[in-house]
Structure 1
Amino acid sequence: MLLDGEAWQAKFRDFRTEAWRLETLPAYKVPQEVEEIQLFLAGERIDPRTYSNEYTEDLKRVRRVGKTKGRVHVVTRPLSSYLLFEFMYNLPHAQAGEDIRIMDVTDRHNPLAGVQDFWMLDRREVVLMNYESDGTQISREVHEGDTTPYVEYQRIALAESVPFEKYAKGLGM
């Protein structure tokens, strides 16, 4: 089953305890980000101490009601311009309550090679994120099978990653 619109939004409104994502691409083509990316490439930056938007406010709500939201992004250096842009927003998202981690596989084996992006909700439902090779989203699809492999992917990603703040500090950010 493909997800879009209200059905997709409901997944993030209705999860019980945890929404978690694995990100594997060096760049995502998101139409809503085009202008922000152009400004970033031109040198503009947000102030992470004061930045707030609908996403950060929702993260705060999620935390207030005892739920968690997190992700691990698998990366290789040199980081793409897109990742540097994304990293700029990671700090305010982390401050708002999202558990963001980075799994840098530059000089080592990637135990998640070949695993596609996905969201896992309450460890009982998986939504596969389908992308073109350039990061353009094709669709979101509810996985109809066993979620056990995805729980294991999450375990590996968490064990092999570091908190975003630690990774960013190592980059001098």
Structure 2
Amino acid sequence: MFDTFEREAFRLETLADYSKSGNADAYQAFLSGQPQPTDYNESWLSEVRAHTGDGRRICRVHILSRPLTPYLRFELGWGYRRNATGGEEFFILDTTDKPNPLEGVEDFWLFDEGTAVVMRYDDTGAVTGRDTVPESRAQEFVAIRDTALAHAEPFSEWWKKHAGT
């Protein structure tokens, strides 16, 4: 889908731990206190730059609560901060002190408001599958995206207030 989307790729993230879904070596380096490699996540960052350079938008909302899990400290501190330099936009829907307006919603990607791909994970955060949803249901995912964005705040603002919490 990343080869064909024309306007926007939106991602909703709902898990506190994706450590079994990739970047295992980088996560272990983070946990052991090593500095972030200068080329960390370079292939994704190059792809993001290509898309955003062509005027396409890639954005995410992560629903989370504090205190952050070790994995979220890694994802936000190493991943989000670095990927933002390529133009990817990040938002945080922090449910620490408020109800989750999207309780029970699964992770998904939404491309151009027409194609949704639901991401399936097991209890360890490992990807178990991806299901492309019929286009007739795309508006359900557009509504979820809109709700997520309406309740979220830009990552950079959230990070200034809550980094490390």
The alignment's TM-score, normalised by the length of structure 2, stands at: 0.92
Match of 1:112, SS state, is: coil
What code does the residue aligned with 1:163 have? P
What code does the residue aligned with 2:120 have? N
Between the aligned partners of 1:30 and 1:16, the Cα distance in structure 2 is: 30
* Aligned equivalent of 2:33, options 19, 43, 66: 43
Match of 2:2, SS state, is: helix
1:105/1:141 CA distance change after superposition, 3 Å: same
Alpha-carbon RMSD across the aligned residues, in angstroms, is 1.7
Between the aligned partners of 1:146 and 1:21, the Cα distance in structure 2 is: 16
What code does the residue aligned with 2:44 have? Y
1:120 maps to what in 2? 110
CA contact (8 A) 1:127 1:143 kept: yes
Q: Which aligned runs of 4 or more in structure 1 are off by greater than 4 angstroms?
A: none
Match of 1:135, SS state, is: coil
1:133 maps to what in 2? 123
Structure 1: runs of 5+ lacking an equivalent: 1-10
% same residue: 33
Between the aligned partners of 2:33 and 2:25, the Cα distance in structure 1 is: 13
1:8 maps to what in 2? none
Per-residue deviation at 1:58?
1.1
Match of 2:73, SS state, is: helix
CA contact (8 A) 2:21 2:126 kept: no
1:160 maps to what in 2? 151
What code does the residue aligned with 1:149 have? E
1:151 maps to what in 2? 142
1:172/1:81 CA distance change after superposition, 3 Å: closer
| 1:93-131 deviations in Å (ceiling 9; x for gaps) | 112100111110011110100000000000000001011
Match of 1:12, SS state, is: coil
Between the aligned partners of 1:136 and 1:64, the Cα distance in structure 2 is: 31
Is residue 45 of structure 2 the alignment partner of residue 90 of structure 1?
Answer: no
1:79 maps to what in 2? 68
The alignment's TM-score, normalised by the length of structure 1, stands at: 0.88
Between the aligned partners of 1:72 and 1:45, the Cα distance in structure 2 is: 26
* Aligned equivalent of 1:59, options 42, 48, 69: 48
Number of residue pairs matched by the alignment: 162
